């Protein structure tokens, strides 16, 4: 099953060099029964996109927690063999899962990353993350604005060169 793991350039760099995403538990997003029920009319591609969008939103939270990393959302797409069942506490439409395993780099299918031009929009959302979690309308608008920025797709063999060009913080070490 395809899962989407929120990340940052700094965390991506560490995972690429370590050969795994971890430590467990990992928050991931996938086409869950709750998501499928919410988007009953959606096809598989739309459901995958919705799960990835939730992971991209969670990436903003990781950026908020690490102000020294580049203000670009990162989502790692990986294939896992087993996905835990929902524990009953998820809301309708929620794609979130908690994986109790480390994800080997060999299972990574692709990486999705904001273009450098999205840094201002994403950075504003990261700066307002806590306020958005508390329901502030302006902060929620800033967070929703990130969805207007497309994530670029990178094959796994491109990631080492991307990280070398960007530096662990992005844009050659600057944010």
Rg of the chain's alpha carbons, rounded to an integer? 16
What tokens were used for 173? Answer: 């070490």
pLDDT tens, position by position, 121-164: 999 999 999 999 899 899 999 989 998 999 999 999 999 998 98
Strand order, beta sheet including 108-114: 96-99, 26-29, 2-7, 74-79, 108-114, 151-155
Q: How far apart are CA 83 and CA 104, in angstroms?
A: 15
pLDDT tens, position by position, 1-54: 899 999 999 999 999 999 999 998 899 998 888 888 888 787 888 999 999 999
How high is the mean pLDDT of the chain? 87
Please name the helix (run of DSSP H) or strand (run of DSSP E) that holds residue 97, with its range, or none: strand 96-99
What tokens were used for 32? Answer: 């869950």
Among 76-85, 95-104, 107-116, which stretch is predicted with the lowest mean pLDDT? 76-85
Q: How far apart are CA 98 and CA 29, in angstroms?
A: 8
Core vs surface per residue 23-54: b (16+ CB within 10 A) or e: eeebebbbbbebbeebbeeeeeeebbebbbbb
What tokens were used for 20? Answer: 């795994």
Q: Structure pTM?
A: 0.88
Residue 14 C-beta-side C-alpha neighbours within 13 Å: 10
């Amino acid at each position: 099953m395809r899962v989407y793991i929120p990340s940052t350039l700094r965390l991506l760099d560490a995972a690429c060099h370590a050969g795994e995403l971890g430590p467990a538990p990992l928050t991931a997003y996938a086409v869950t029964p709750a998501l499928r029920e919410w988007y009953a009319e959606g096809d598989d591609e739309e459901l995958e996109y919705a799960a990835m969008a939730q992971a991209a939103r969670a990436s903003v939270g990781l950026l908020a927690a690490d102000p020294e990393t580049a203000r670009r959302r990162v989502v790692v797409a990986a294939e896992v063999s087993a996905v835990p069942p929902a524990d009953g506490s998820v809301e309708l439409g929620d794609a979130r899962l908690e994986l109790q395993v480390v994800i080997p780099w060999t299972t990574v299918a692709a990486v999705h990353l904001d273009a450098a031009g999205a840094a201002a929009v994403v950075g504003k959302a990261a700066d307002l993350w806590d306020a958005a979690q508390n329901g502030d309308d302006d902060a929620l608008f800033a967070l929703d604005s990130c969805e207007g920025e497309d994530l670029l797709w990178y094959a796994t063999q491109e990631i080492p060169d991307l990280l070398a060009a960007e530096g662990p913080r992005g844009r050659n070490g600057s944010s």
